[in-house]
Amino acid sequence: MNQSVYSRQPRSTIPNVIFALLIANGLVFALQQANAEFMFINFALWPATDPRSPFMPWQLLTYGFLHGNMTHILFNMFGLWMFGRDIEQVMGSQRFLIYFLVCVVGAGIVQLIVAGMQGGLYPTVGASGGVFGILLAYGLTFPNRIVVPLFPPIPMRAITFVIIYGLLELYLGVSGGAPGIANFAHLGGMFFGFLLIRHWRRGRRRR
């Protein structure tokens, strides 16, 4: 991706939006510990087609700030910080926030479609859709940068890492090899992020 699509800001260890998102997710997780049932019923993403479901439209956004357990939130926040800090510097804070939220909502839309086809009454939570969207942006912006993922700990180009992770999510989603994980929502975050990046690039070219 041509980096000139985005504005540049001075480099920071934790840019403003990422810092705010880390704090917001931490506060929401604390509220979950105080009243998990209330938070999950009202703010997790529930299937929209089941008449028993407590689905409400705002859940397409709020589900991305809830997490299932400490490991879940730590992995998501680590990914947000690890890949998002450079992307926020390149995009600028306002555009980065828009991008992240679009990926969260897009992942939620895909999850609603999948849940409607599969049936069942269960909630979806987690910032993973937004994090996977950021991962896509990172791979497109810095394709030749070397990263060392936690699993497997093998150095590889960023774009290779993104492709492998995307294919793995697709395989797990189709095969059902990772029950309890919204693999198609992760792909939805990447897909909506890709569409938004293309939209911004075309707007830049027209100007």
Going from N- to C-terminal start, the domains of the chain cover 3-206
What was the pLDDT predicted at 48?
Answer: 95
pLDDT digits (tens, 9 = 90+) for 158-188: 999 999 999 999 999 999 888 889 999 999 9
Cα(96)–Cα(106) distance, integer angstroms: 15
**111 exposed, middle or buried (CB, 10 Å; 0-12, 13-18, 19+)?**
buried
Question: What tokens does 4 get?
Answer: 């000139």
Name the helix (H) or strand (E) containing 156: strand 156-157
Question: What tokens does 167 get?
Answer: 């294919």
Is the pLDDT at 87 greater than 70, yes or no? yes
Cα(20)–Cα(53) distance, integer angstroms: 31
pTM of the model: 0.91
Its CATH architecture, for the domain 3-206, is Up-down Bundle (1.20)
Angle CA 139–26–56, to nearest 5: 85
Q: Cα separations (Å) of 165 from 31, 112, 187?
A: 32, 22, 10
Neighbours of 29 (CB within 10 A): 19
Higher local confidence (pLDDT), 205 or 162? 162
Is the pLDDT at 8 greater than 80, yes or no? no
pLDDT digits (tens, 9 = 90+) for 10-62: 455 889 999 999 999 999 999 999 999 999 999 999 999 999 999 999 999 99
129 within 8 A of 193, measured Cβ to Cβ: no
